[in-house]
Amino acid sequence: SQRVFSGVQPTGNLHLGNYLGAIKRFVELQEGYDCIYCVVDMHAITVWQDPVELKKSIREVAAAFLAAGVDGSKQIVFNQSQVPQHAELAWVLNCVARLGWLNRMTQFKEKAGKDRENASVGLYAYPNLMAADILVYRATHVPVGEDQKQHLELARDIAQKFNNDFATSIAANGLPEKFFPQPQPLIAGPATRVMSLRDGAKKMSKSDPSDASRINLTDSADQIANKIRRAKTDPLPLPESLDGLKERPEADNLIGIYAALADTDAQGVIDEFGGGQFSQFKQALVDLTVAKLGPINAEMTRLVADPGHIDRVLGDGAARAEAIAAETMTAVKDIVGFVRR
């Protein structure tokens, strides 16, 4: 069977990269898969979060899923900390994953920065919790942005090592040889890595101190217009072909954003705007972005005004998620050799 799992951290400032790289894909995938979409609050606390803000952000991410078009009654929408099996399986996977594997994770190096001695242990072990998030549902497909590719590869390695280390026990318990399936990353389309509007070499990120670097899902039409008009570009007009676009990261980024919002590809954008001036293209990009994000923003505002409703969606999702996760965890305990209650 095919099952999609993915998560977004409630770390504030949901942005266009989160939408194009993840949330928009979540909506598309619900047509073909059973989907589990998680607000990963336990990941968020790997760096300090203000508790009052965290609660707000959890509901805001849930609202963004729903506002973008995820159907919370058909799919499972919940927050991670309500389903204890994530943490439970993460511990077992901490004991499967190797230090050497985690030492290679580039996101830890970036997020820990220079003061690595002072990073939380949780930030280091984060990829193991992410593997648990996916594997506890035995999910087969994981839509993420390009930046999560390395963590997905680690999850695959962990799944395989678990299956190998416990092969005899898996068989003795009458369970399938590939107890944990290999989760496939779904990283596709023209905006798998949306870059900062201020720096074509940096990914658009929630944590960038410059608000002008990103388009937030909560930005007004005026804010969107200002940020896109001020977005960094080179002095040349838009290219007339895809050749050399990779050497023009800012142009490549804006073309990718337009393509993703318009459901076309970079070639489609070049067919329409190639050879033209950026000032003109930017105006078209403003109009398109406002047209696509405006209704989502309005619906998010409506939803967050009724936290009781969001909390019911999350609670209902958690109950359905836990039913699946508990079954996996029971099997994992048998496989590992724990004595169950």
Residues within the interface to ligand ATP (CB under 6 A) = 8-9, 11, 17-18, 20-22, 144-145, 147-148, 192-194, 203-207
206 is catalytic: yes
* Partner residues linked to 216 by β-bridges: 15
- Residue 226's alpha-carbon distances to 50, 192, 215, 289, in angstroms, are 29, 24, 10, 12
Q: Is 145 annotated as a binding residue?
A: yes
CB within 8 A of 2, min separation 6: which ones? 32, 33, 34, 140, 141
- Residue 219's alpha-carbon distances to 46, 58, 203, 227, in angstroms, are 27, 18, 19, 10
Q: Cβ of residue 203: shortest distance to ligand ATP, in angstroms?
A: 4
For ligand ATP, the nearest residue by Cβ is: 21
* Partner residues linked to 37 by β-bridges: 6, 77
Q: Which residue's CB is nearer to ligand ATP, number 13 or number 163?
A: 13
Catalytic residue (one of 111, 202, 232, 333): 111
Q: What is the DSSP letter of 47?
A: S
Q: Which residue's CB is nearer to ligand ATP, number 35 or number 144?
A: 144
Q: Cβ of residue 193: shortest distance to ligand ATP, in angstroms?
A: 5
Catalytic residue (one of 24, 206, 227, 292): 206
Q: Cβ of residue 326: shortest distance to ligand ATP, in angstroms?
A: 26
Helices (H), the chain: 16-18, 24-29, 41-44, 51-68, 85-94, 99-103, 106-112, 121-135, 149-165, 167-172, 221-230, 249-261, 266-273, 278-304, 307-336
Residue 24 CA to residue 261 CA, distance in Å, equals 9
Q: Which residue's CB is nearer to ligand ATP, number 11 or number 75?
A: 11
Q: Is 9 annotated as a binding residue?
A: yes
Q: Which residue's CB is nearer to ligand ATP, number 45 or number 92?
A: 45
Q: Cβ of residue 307: shortest distance to ligand ATP, in angstroms?
A: 21
Q: Is 243 annotated as a binding residue?
A: no
Terminal CA-CA length for the chain: 30
Q: Cβ of residue 197: shortest distance to ligand ATP, in angstroms?
A: 11
161 is catalytic: no
Q: Which residue's CB is nearer to ligand ATP, number 204 or number 238?
A: 204
Q: Which residues are identified as catalytic?
A: 111, 203, 206
What are the binding residues for L-tryptophan?
133
What are the binding residues?
9-11, 17-18, 133, 145-147, 194, 203-207
